[in-house]
Amino acid sequence: MVTGAIQETPPLSGPSTVMSVFEPDSFIVADVVPSPSFDERKGGPPDIILLHYTGMQTGEAALERLTSAESKVSSHYVVFEDGRAVQCVPEEKRAWHAGVSSWAGETDINSRSIGIEIVNPGHEFGYRDFPRRQIAAVISLCKSIATRRGPIRSDRVLAHSDVAPARKQDPGEKFPWQLLSDSGVGHWIRPAPLKIDGITLHPGDRGEAVARLQRALRDYGYGVEETGHYDDATRDVVTAFQRHFRQARVDGIADPSTQLTLRALVDTRPGKTG
């Protein structure tokens, strides 16, 4: 079942020792509440910002879970609905927030990313709009991270559902990606209109048109195989794509609006050559 609530499992290396209070990395942080669930990053420095919603009934319950040794889950930051930001893991450490996930062929997303949990009850507990004050804090935090960490490409500001489409749906179709983009955070374009002529691809379809769809999704970064078969995995990826980039209708069906929006994103993504 696709879910969004905090329930990630730790890496095989096991939990670290309890961390003492540390100096926050960002000026926007109001409090530091250390989590013991972290370890050392593998590979290079983080170059992904991964956005989640907490998917729990209250922000306090989410923060307790993210800082409990028993839960074995954590994120670098938690942003409350009133805009208060709490840091739980230093950015230089590997927080345990992404779970089994992939992007652009990479599978250790925890090592490559900085995780931000955004307080919202999510689809299970009454999914609601994100307050402007909260989103303003998320934007400031993302800008602070990108400034300090060197250039983080806009197409690597991602949703949890982007990197784990079969399991996750957060931060969901109510998350205002356009507002972030208008503020200089993330890669986004205005989606193509829903009512537009063209071929619609459905789950179960086969052929070259499906292969082209899968190829474009994979070119953008999604973890989908180019098989020419619109299988369950492809449907999950299309659904995740719609939650992020074509929120007006999220149904896992690759209608012309979805396909044109995807094509425009691939053509305008940072670092594209040719």
The dihedral over CA atoms of 28, 8, 10, 151, expressed in degrees to the nearest 10, equals -40
CA distance 268 to 44: 26
Q: CA of 63: how far to CAs of 14, 35, 51, in Å?
A: 20, 9, 15
Give me the active site residues, please.
117
